Structure 1
Amino acid sequence: MLAMKIVVADDHPLFRVAVAQALRDVTGGEPPVEASSLRTLEEAVQAHADIDLVLLDLHMPGARGFSSLVFLRGERPEVPVIVISSNDHPRTIRRAQQFGASGFIPKSTPVERMLEAVRHVLEGGVWFPALAAEKSEDDAKLAAKLAQLTPQQMRVLMCMADGLLNKQIAYELGLAENTVKVHVTAILRKLECHSRTQAAVLVKALEPDPPPERETGPQPEE
């Protein structure tokens, strides 16, 4: 069995451990690379040139909705990404597909089914639950615009969305303030935005829809 290098990006350590144990038969003994935030995911991607697959949770520190997926598609377009999320809203699944994921696994999926999905994507396929949501033209346009940004410009955009000034962004990312200004100008041009506020609104559109409420049934009386 060939060793496979898989990155497991999730901010819950127990979930990462559980997934790592489940993946042993798939990875050929290669321990998964773990990431708990967008920053550590970026470090993992830069440190490992031989990544075969990324298992990605959308909700991690530093990430806004699908921003981590957009980052991965820009930084390592050759590496397939499977989104693993507790938010299995039909539109969330469809949007993950439109933003470049190769698969989507709800966290409620049984382990054997999850491994089946991982193997299928590693073999070059795609894996998505049955989709009830239609494709969105707005999402397609947004994905096309964001695809023009470099990884560094994506980082600057996320800081802009947090309301940071150029000086603060420079400090946060270790850049010269003039370099940040150049990035901001390029970002606004590529996104066809006239202001930082407009760009922040586009980032807000990366947030997934909330998961549907589950039927819990009547509660027993005390």
Structure 2
Amino acid sequence: MSQAVTWLVADDHPLFRQAIMESLKPAFPDVEWLEAENVEQLERRLNMPQEIELLLLDLKIPGAHGFSTLIHMRSHYPDLPVVIVSAYEDLDTIQRAIQSGASGFIPKSLSAKAMVAAVQTVLDGGISVPDKGTLKPKGHDADDMVEKVASLTPQQYRILMMFAEGLLNKQIAPELEVSEATVKAHATAIFKKLGVTNRTQAVIALSHLDLDKETTGFEH
């Protein structure tokens, strides 16, 4: 690298954020690092004037809901390569991450050398996945929901995540500094885009993007 670039690592564990940076720094000495420990911080970092050229994202970062944060990133920051760094290593999770727009998938158990190679593949314009054979097809329901969630605006996405947390309109309104009527208008638009009629159905539909199949959609 001939000049400094900025990368962002988003994970709620400080020790792991430090570990991934220390693993990559020797191979990429000109990188300036930013950190985020939850989705709210991630959004703030991405809205900074400083251009971020690579995002290393943990799927289980607080505030995320399965693959929804990845889908949101790819929809609203299409030029930003996103590499998933996860404790999950099963083929279905890896395949769903790539299908949802990730440029690479790095298991947290990967060696520093393999991590560097994976990141370099992404920087070279490739897709990096662990060498675990052919990834199996995923279901139509998840495919369909990826497109629907990607169509949400940033404000609609935030409100949907609040629905998933069980918040009521009157609780969401002051949090977003808008009126309850505005929240209701956004809710109507969300339901239309997701093809549902109420918030319960919206959260159930969102559960197609959960990492754990037993997850109800109301838990993180």
- TM-score scaled to structure 1, two decimals? 0.89
Say if 1:92 and 1:209, in contact at 8 Å, map to a contact too. Answer: no
Structure 2 counterpart of 1:152: 155
The Cα shift of 1:21 comes to 1.7
The secondary structure found in structure 1 opposite 2:32 is coil
The 5 A counterparts of 1:47-86 are 47-86=48-87
Structure 2 counterpart of 1:34: 35
Moved more, 130-139 or 82-91: 130-139
Structure 2 counterpart of 1:142: 145
Say if 2:27 and 2:116, in contact at 8 Å, map to a contact too. Answer: yes
Distance 2:152 2:27 in 1: 34
Offset from partner CA, 1:78-104 (integer Å, 9 cap, x none) = 101011101111111111011111111
Structure 2 counterpart of 1:172: 175
Offset from partner CA, 1:122-181 (integer Å, 9 cap, x none) = 121111123442232222111111111011111100111122111111122222222211
Q: Which amino acid aligns with 2:23?
A: A
Residues matched between the structures, number: 210
Moved more, 151-160 or 163-172: 163-172
Structure 2 counterpart of 1:100: 101
Change (3 A) 1:91 1:126: same
Structure 1 counterpart of 2:218: none
- Among all aligned residue pairs of Structure 1 and Structure 2, give the percentage whose two residues are the same amino acid: 46
Say if 2:24 and 2:112, in contact at 8 Å, map to a contact too. Answer: no
The Cα shift of 1:48 comes to 4.4
Distance 1:139 1:79 in 2: 23
Quote the RMSD (CA, aligned, Å).
1.5
Say if 1:8 and 1:54, in contact at 8 Å, map to a contact too. Answer: yes
Structure 1 counterpart of 2:191: 188
Change (3 A) 1:193 1:20: same
Structure 2 counterpart of 1:119: 120
Say if 1:82 and 1:102, in contact at 8 Å, map to a contact too. Answer: yes
Change (3 A) 1:171 1:23: same
The secondary structure found in structure 2 opposite 1:87 is coil
The Cα shift of 1:24 comes to 1.8
- TM-score scaled to structure 2, two decimals? 0.90
Distance 1:104 1:195 in 2: 34
Say if 2:159 and 2:187, in contact at 8 Å, map to a contact too. Answer: yes
Distance 2:21 2:138 in 1: 33
The Cα shift of 1:36 comes to 0.3
Unaligned runs of 5+ in 2: 214-220
Unaligned runs of 5+ in 1: 211-222
Distance 1:140 1:168 in 2: 31
Structure 1 counterpart of 2:46: 45
Q: Which amino acid aligns with 1:197?
A: T
Structure 2 counterpart of 1:13: 14
The secondary structure found in structure 1 opposite 2:204 is helix
